[in-house]
Amino acid sequence: MSELQGSEGTTQRLPVIEKAEYEPPPAPEFEPGREAGREGRFWSARRVPAAVVAVLLLAVTALFLYDIAAVRAHRPAMAWRRDLAHQLATRPLDDTWVLVGAGVTAVLGLWLLLLAATPGLRAVLPMRRPHADVRAGLHREAAALILRDRAMEVAGVQSAHVRVRRAHADVRAVCHFRELGDVRADLNTTLDEAIRGLGLSHPPALSVHVRRPGRKG
Amino acid sequence: MLRIVNRVLIGLVGLVLLALGGSVLAVGLGAPAPSWWIHQGRHDVLLTDAERTKWQDHAWWWPTVIAALAVLVLLILWWLTNVLRRRRLTEVLVDTGDGEGALLRGRALESVLANEANELNGVAQAHARLTGTRTAPETKVQLLLEPHVDPAIALSYLTAHALTHARNSAGLEKLPTEVRVKAVRHRQERVS
């Protein structure tokens, strides 16, 4: 434990994990080269759409319930219900507003179906499991930040822009000294290792572009 | 569990909306409708007075409508409360091995886990939350990493230390964990 504490502010790389004295678990240790099963995506709980749909449904149902109960209790129906019944009974199907309304309803329904059937959480990349019980996801933004920092460590790189997508990592580096080919080769090795260090279940394919600064001084 | 309920209900609502909107659109644009369908042609109206009041004279109609609406309102209320409530485990049942059990406060386990994760090299901030049930707890951990550390190494440290300690100290056979890893934002600069 002691080597883990009091290390704030240092920038040294962590050593390979060692067995400590506390009797380690039967957990398989992380090995960068090990081929593990491919992890599935993270599935969003869809809380926000669920809350919105539930609130809207609740409002509509409660309104109808209230008004129908009020009418049963011999009170006059609200004006909107009479108006709605009148509109429903007079507007033909090829009325423009009916068609527009139907189109919007169908699109909304399709969108809800898509929300229900797709995993969402596109920004979270699944990581390899270090242990059967542990499921981890790395945010794409974090992956891009880490790759950018590793790219900046290569001699000659002045600035780097990294874009990580689900299957690709695009690195654009500006190089202000050394041969472009050398820098590109160095970047490839460094970033290949960095991508392995991300511990992703589906490591993104790397593409590196190196160029000189556009204008001098 | 909630994820499945949410997705099934959202999908159901979506299906109903798609069917209603799609059928009105199709018939309104001139597609032929089957004979049993409520709309027969493009000059038909959405819902005639006759269709709307068809069952009104029956004694069972209004009580049935009101009962159905009431059940629907209750179901939606149940759904909404479950969606809005953040389920958080308040205590964990620890098997002490002598046939009795002890209760461990969930917050205590959460803070120990988060503190231990915070002490790992390269972790700027850690947050832990317990979910699941008293006998089968689960955790959700959020890690904010500093730029110099590799996520894979940080994750294996977290697993080997913080998570293993938490699992052992609560006497759990397993502690399913979901970890989300983010990194501290910072400007472009040389780290080493």
pLDDT above 80 (res A1): no
pLDDT in tens, A99-115: 999 999 999 999 999 99
Which pair of tokens denotes residue B62? 């209004």
Sequence-distant (6+) residues with CB within 8 A of B113 are B126, B128, B139, B141, B162, B163, B166
Are A50 and B9 an interchain contact pair (Cβ–Cβ within 8 Å)? yes
Distance from CA of B161 to the nearest CA of A (A): 8
Distance from CA of B92 to the nearest CA of A (A): 18
Question: In the prediction, which pLDDT does B50 show?
Answer: 81
**Residues of chain B below pLDDT 70:** 189-192
Give the closest residue to A184 by CA, choosing from A151, A159, A144.
Answer: A151
Is residue B151 domain-shared with residue B77, that is, in the same domain? no
Residue B74 placed within a domain: yes
Is residue B106 domain-shared with residue B177, that is, in the same domain? yes
Which pair of tokens denotes residue B59? 């004694």
Give the confidence band of A24 by pLDDT, cuts at 50, 70, 90: very low
Domain ranges, residue B146: 91-183
Q: Nearest by CB to B43, which of A12, A92, A160?
A: A92
Is residue B133 domain-shared with residue B107, that is, in the same domain? yes
Q: Nearest by CB to B73, which of A61, A106, A196?
A: A61
Is residue B75 domain-shared with residue B151, that is, in the same domain? no
Cβ-based contacts of A141 with chain B (< 8 Å): 182-183
Overall pTM surpassing 0.90 (yes/no): no
Q: Nearest by CB to B69, which of A68, A137, A138?
A: A68
Cβ-based contacts of A194 with chain B (< 8 Å): 150
Neighbouring C-beta atoms of residue A209, cutoff 10 Å: 12
Q: Nearest by CB to A88, which of B47, B180, B183?
A: B47
Radius of gyration of chain A (CA): 29
Question: In the prediction, which pLDDT does A120 show?
Answer: 86
- ipTM of the complex, rounded to two decimals: 0.81
Pairing of strands B91-95, A134-139: unpaired
Is residue B38 domain-shared with residue B105, that is, in the same domain? no
Distance from CA of A95 to the nearest CA of B (A): 8
Q: Which amino acid is present at B16?
A: V
pLDDT in tens, A153-184: 888 888 888 999 888 999 998 888 888 888 88
Walk me through the domains of chain A, giving residue ranges and CATH numbers.
47-117 (no CATH), 126-211 (3.30.70.1350)
Evaluate the CA torsion angle A95, A101, A104, A109 in order and state its sign.
Answer: negative
Give the closest residue to A149 by CA, choosing from A179, A193, A182.
Answer: A193
Is residue B74 domain-shared with residue B97, that is, in the same domain? no
Q: What is the dihedral of CA A173, A176, A178, A184, to 10 degrees?
A: 10
Question: In the prediction, which pLDDT does A74 show?
Answer: 87
Best of A29, A72, A128, A131 to substitute, by most chain B Cβ atoms within 10 angstroms, is A131
